[in-house]
Amino acid sequence: MNIQKLMQDLRRDEGVRYQVYDDATGQPIQAGDTLQGHPTIGVGRNLTAARGVSDLEVDTMLDNDCRIVVRELDHALPWWRNLSDGRQRALANMAFNLGMPTLQRFSRMLRALEAGEYEAAAREALDSRWARQVGARAERIAELFREG
């Protein structure tokens, strides 16, 4: 069987959806929605425990998301590339977790990082509701800010 032709048929017949939707209604799923069917994405990919996603798919999505975060950091904070690898990873981790608009509200932390005041940046990261919410993750990120 020609898998490429099958894929073309399925794309045509199932459609391609880039957001999670309810397969029974075809409507995008919003937080708190009651589903009539199953959460689905892509070309009819049922996201329930019966199928979910593979390790390769998880890695592909993560790779794409990391590339997006790096582009967003390059655009919003071009100086971040002057940081050490560890500090770049820490900042990218925060951007991934918070999103750029929220990360940019950490203005004192960002100013400290840009100025090379890494202990102050770590303190600012830890002195936040975010740090209380993510616990050990914030400690690891603060340590990377300190030690680079």
Mean pLDDT for the chain overall: 94
Which domains are assigned to the chain?
Answer: 3-46 (no CATH), 55-147 (1.10.530.40)
Determine the pLDDT at residue 48.
84
The gap from C-alpha 55 to its chain's centroid, in whole angstroms, comes to 16
Distance CA 70, CA 39 (A): 29
How does pLDDT run across 64-100, given as a tens digit for each residue? 999 999 999 999 999 999 999 999 999 999 999 999 9
Distance CA 67, CA 34 (A): 33
Q: Report whether pLDDT(62) > 90.
A: yes
Count CB atoms within 10 A of the CB of residue 83. 21
Q: For residue 5, name the pLDDT band (cuts at 50, 70, 90).
A: very high
Q: Report whether pLDDT(138) > 80.
A: yes
3-state secondary structure of 119: helix
How does pLDDT run across 30-60, given as a tens digit for each residue? 888 899 988 999 998 888 877 788 899 999 9
Determine the pLDDT at residue 106.
98
The total number of residues shown for the chain amounts to 148
Residue 17 tokens read as 């959806």
Q: Report whether pLDDT(130) > 80.
A: yes
